[in-house]
Amino acid sequence: MLSELPTELTEHITGDLDLDSFRSFRLVSHSLNQQSLHQFRQRFFRTRTVAWTIESLDRLTHITADSYFGRSLRDLVVDSTPRFAIRLWELEKGIIEADLQQDQHRRNDAQARYSEVEARFEQITRFWNETRHDRKALTSVFEHIGRLQSIVFAYDGMKKNFLLFGRRYCESSQNEMSRPLVSTLAAVAMSKLIVQTISIDPGRRYGAVSTGRLESLSPFLVIFDDIFLGLKVLKLNIRDWRSPDDGLEMPNGKTSFLVRFLGKLRNLESLDLSCFSTLEENILSEMALHCKYPRLRTCRLHLFRVPSADDLLRFLEPARGWLGSLTLSQCVMRDGEWSQAMADIASELRLEYLELSDLFTRIGARVGFDGTMRRTLVMRGPDLESQLMYQSDRLISGNWGPAWHLAAVAYPFIGLHA
């Protein structure tokens, strides 16, 4: 009989059962229920995905309040897909196509649906703003748990055929797309949750966070000093579409909020940061001054303006002796500086892996490696230093391929290569 099976065999049997089958299995007898309880908790409560809806957040609160299953949560996945923005964009494209085809019936139908979605979006946005229900729910969850291995933000994207006016979509979706991360970090601060990893889901990576929205976390900066001592891994996409033309200017001498935030992560071991800003051009220079990561082992910088080779080395220098892997992609630095940067990295850092990809000497001019139009250079192993010194003298530049800044709008569009 099943109830007489040893616990080890019971756990083996239940290892591949889906949720519904597992529930049925547990109902067979009290003995099987007890034998499979640990396996059930590990498989279905250790990792949870929460959608950014009232129902999903409340369900997470209810689960984590359970005396037995509640503290099993170790990895939280936050579905941050801007579903309203995506739907509105699809409907707007339908309206444009109906206009081009002079199809008034189709246009009226798309316009009516657009108005309904827009009204619902405004309603739910007003609810979040007025009640802070999302922040309160997560604060309650985190207070009960106390510690997480990871918080991962997942973003579904859009098909390439919606790319037209992609920057306008990126700008219009920022508030909805940024809210989950900002509210989650606020809840982390309020609950004093200890978390080791904050990252983007590698399989659902089609999202970014607005610097402007991130600035709403300024009241919590002091709290982050202690909480983020345990943070080992950070992977984020940051975008800032604000412009001085809109009356927004950084005060002279004031460090940007993004850099002050990043400066709190003093024990980082892995950093993967994509950062594009139309308002602040010297973020890496500020990071070199205010962000010291002496334990950094892996680093990837994407979409950065790099003012000089000295700024890049100054940022990496605190991790000398620890840093083993460095990736620079879609970065722009003025003519002549890339050769110097490569020579400096070769002589000052002892890397085990280096990847240089889609580098630019100005917004429209790409770097070619090995004296060709080759766009990517990967080096590893004990002779990396000599390889890099050799390649530093064999760079060329030319106006081929997309311009540097076009990659800033690539993230929502699935399968798009900038």
Q: How confident is the model at residue 330 (pLDDT cuts 50, 70, 90)?
A: very high
Q: Indicate the range of 92-96, 134-138, 352-356, 373-377 predicted with least confidence.
A: 92-96
Q: Please give the structure tokens belonging to residue 85.
A: 């923005």
**Confidence (pLDDT) at 227:** 92
Q: How confident is the model at residue 27 (pLDDT cuts 50, 70, 90)?
A: low
Please say whether the beta carbons of 3 and 36 come within 8 A.
no
Average pLDDT along the chain: 88
**Confidence (pLDDT) at 20:** 61
**Domain map (residue ranges) of the chain:** 47-81+135-409
**Confidence (pLDDT) at 418:** 46
What does the pLDDT average to over 100-127? 92
User: Backbone phi, then psi, for 270, in 5-degree steps?
Assistant: -140, 125
What does the pLDDT average to over 38-56? 78
Please say whether the beta carbons of 105 and 181 come within 8 A.
no
List, for residues 357-395, the tens digit of each pLDDT value.
999 998 889 999 999 999 999 999 899 999 999 999 999
**Confidence (pLDDT) at 338:** 95
List, for residues 268-298, the tens digit of each pLDDT value.
999 999 999 988 888 999 999 999 999 999 9
| Domain 47-81+135-409: CATH class, spelled out | alpha beta
Burial call 161-197: b when 16+ CB within 10 Å, e when fewer: ebeeebeebbebbbebbbbbbbbbbbbbbbbebbbbb
Its pTM stands at: 0.89
Tokens 């050799």: give the residue.
390
CA atoms within 13 A on the CB side of 257: 17
**Confidence (pLDDT) at 66:** 80
Per the model's pLDDT, the better-predicted residue between 256 and 248 turns out to be: 256
Per the model's pLDDT, the better-predicted residue between 262 and 101 turns out to be: 262
Question: What DSSP designation does 292 have?
Answer: -
**Confidence (pLDDT) at 94:** 86
Separation CA 225–CA 153 (nearest Å): 22
**Confidence (pLDDT) at 385:** 93
Separation CA 36–CA 26 (nearest Å): 7
Separation CA 124–CA 147 (nearest Å): 30
- pLDDT of residue 52 exceeding 80: yes
**Confidence (pLDDT) at 70:** 72
Q: Indicate the range of 65-69, 109-113, 192-196 predicted with least confidence.
A: 65-69
What does the pLDDT average to over 185-206? 97
Q: What percent of the chain has pLDDT over 90?
A: 69
List, for residues 129-163, the tens digit of each pLDDT value.
999 999 999 999 999 999 999 999 999 998 888 88
